C-alpha cells in the first residue's frame, strides 16, 4: 500500500477516506469542520470515463418502471437534483416529500460535491464531499426566533436561566438541521454508489482456512483423492 493510501480503507471499490494525507490541516480544524461537513469524505474507483459516470447518474436520478431495481432510492418521495455537472465533476442536492403536505417538499439541507480524477482511459476516481447548506436553515430558526422574546422577557426567572433557555433552543434548531443534512448526504452517497455499482471493482471473498472438502495445499490433494476414491469404491462393491 502506498503512502497516499495509508489512511484509506477499501471495500468493494469504495474508499472511505477520513484522514487524507493532503489535508492535514483538517485534523486540527476537525471540531469546526464538523459543523460544516456532514459526511466523511468518500472516494470511488469506477471503471468508466467521467462522461459515462455523469450520464448514468443523471439517468438513474429519474424514476422509471424500466429501472425498478433502483426503487429503494426513491422511497418516501426522495428525489435527486443536479445543480451543475461536467467532465470535471458535479454538485447535487436531494429532497423528499413532506408526509402531511401533499404538494410540498423538504428543502435541501446538504450539498454533495464530486470531483472526477481520470486515472486511466477506463478508470476514474470520484472524490466526494458533503457540506451543509447554511442558507436553508432559516426555516428551522423561525420557531426559536418566535420564542426568544418570551424567554428574554420572562422576568419571573433569573437572567441566567433565561439566557440558557434562549441559547438552548437555537442549539437544538442547529442540531436538528444538521441531522437532516447528514441524512441527505448519506442518501446521496448511497445513490451514487448504487447507480454506479455495475462499474465498481468487484472483490472476490476468500474461503476461510477450515472449509470441509477444500484442499489448502496441492500436496494434500493426492492423499485426499485416494481416500475419497477408496471410500466410494467400498460403497459401490
Looking at the structure of the chain, the number of domains it has is 1
Query: How far apart are alpha carbons 144 and 45 in whole angstroms?
Result: 44
Query: How far apart are alpha carbons 105 and 134 in whole angstroms?
Result: 18
Considering only CA atoms, give the Rg of the chain: 27
Q: Does residue 78 lie in a domain region?
A: yes
Q: What is the pLDDT of residue 157?
A: 78
CATH number at residue 21: 3.30.530
Q: What is the pLDDT of residue 61?
A: 93
C-alpha cell at 7: 489512511
Q: Does residue 37 lie in a domain region?
A: yes
Q: Does residue 38 lie in a domain region?
A: yes
Q: What is the pLDDT of residue 2?
A: 39
Q: What is the dihedral of CA 195, 80, 35, 11, to 10 degrees?
A: -10
C-alpha cell at 201: 471493482
Q: What is the pLDDT of residue 7?
A: 42
Q: What is the pLDDT of residue 37?
A: 84
Q: Which domain holds residue 89?
A: 3-136+185-199
pTM: 0.69
Q: What is the dihedral of CA 12, 17, 21, 25, to 10 degrees?
A: 170
Q: Which of 108, 43, 51 is nearest to 81 (CA)?
A: 108
Q: 10-residue block means of pLDDT along the chain (237 residues)?
A: 42 51 63 77 91 93 88 90 92 88 82 92 91 84 83 79 87 90 94 92 61 57 73 63
Q: Does residue 227 lie in a domain region?
A: no
Q: Is the dihedral of CA 58, 63, 66, 69 positive or negative?
A: positive
Query: How far apart are alpha carbons 63 and 83 in whole angstroms?
Result: 18
Q: Give bridge partners of residue 15 from the DSSP assignment.
A: 10, 43
Q: Is the dihedral of CA 66, 68, 72, 76 positive or negative?
A: positive
Question: Which residues contact residue 111 at a Cβ distance below 8 angstroms, ignoring those fewer than 6 apart?
Answer: 83, 91, 92, 93, 130, 131, 132, 133
Placement of cell 470535471 in the chain? 88
Q: Does residue 225 lie in a domain region?
A: no
Question: Which residues contact residue 91 at a Cβ distance below 8 angstroms, ignoring those fewer than 6 apart?
Answer: 82, 83, 84, 85, 111, 112, 113, 114
E strand map for the chain: 8-11, 14-17, 37-46, 79-86, 89-95, 97-98, 101-105, 110-118, 124-132
Q: Does residue 180 lie in a domain region?
A: no
CA angle in degrees (0–180, nearest 5) for 71-64-38: 50
As a whole number of angstroms, the longest Cα–Cα distance in the chain is 101
Amino acid at each position: 500500500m502506498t503512502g497516499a493510501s495509508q489512511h484509506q480503507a477499501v471495500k468493494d471499490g469504495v474508499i472511505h477516506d477520513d484522514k487524507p494525507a493532503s489535508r492535514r490541516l483538517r485534523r486540527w480544524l476537525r471540531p469546526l469542520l464538523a459543523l460544516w461537513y456532514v459526511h466523511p469524505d468518500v472516494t470511488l474507483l469506477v471503471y468508466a470515463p467521467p462522461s459515462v459516470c455523469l450520464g448514468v447518474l443523471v439517468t438513474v436520478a429519474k424514476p422509471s418502471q424500466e429501472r425498478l431495481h433502483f426503487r429503494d432510492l426513491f422511497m418516501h418521495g426522495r428525489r435527486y437534483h443536479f445543480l451543475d455537472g461536467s467532465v470535471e465533476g458535479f454538485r447535487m442536492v436531494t429532497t423528499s416529500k413532506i408526509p402531511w403536505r401533499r404538494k410540498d417538499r423538504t428543502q435541501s439541507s446538504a450539498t454533495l460535491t464530486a470531483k472526477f480524477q481520470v486515472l486511466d482511459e477506463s478508470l476514474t476516481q470520484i472524490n466526494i464531499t458533503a457540506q451543509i447548506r447554511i442558507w436553508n436553515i432559516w426555516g428551522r430558526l423561525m420557531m426559536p426566533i418566535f420564542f426568544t422574546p418570551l424567554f428574554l422577557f420572562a422576568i419571573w426567572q433569573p437572567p441566567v436561566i433565561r439566557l440558557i433557555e434562549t441559547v438552548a433552543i437555537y442549539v437544538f434548531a442547529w442540531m436538528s438541521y444538521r441531522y437532516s443534512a447528514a441524512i441527505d448526504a448519506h442518501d446521496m452517497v448511497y445513490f451514487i454508489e448504487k447507480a454506479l455499482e455495475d462499474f465498481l471493482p468487484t472483490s472476490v471473498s476468500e474461503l476461510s482456512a477450515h472449509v470441509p472438502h477444500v484442499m489448502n495445499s496441492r500436496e494434500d490433494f493426492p492423499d485426499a483423492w485416494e481416500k475419497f476414491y477408496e471410500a466410494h469404491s467400498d460403497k459401490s462393491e
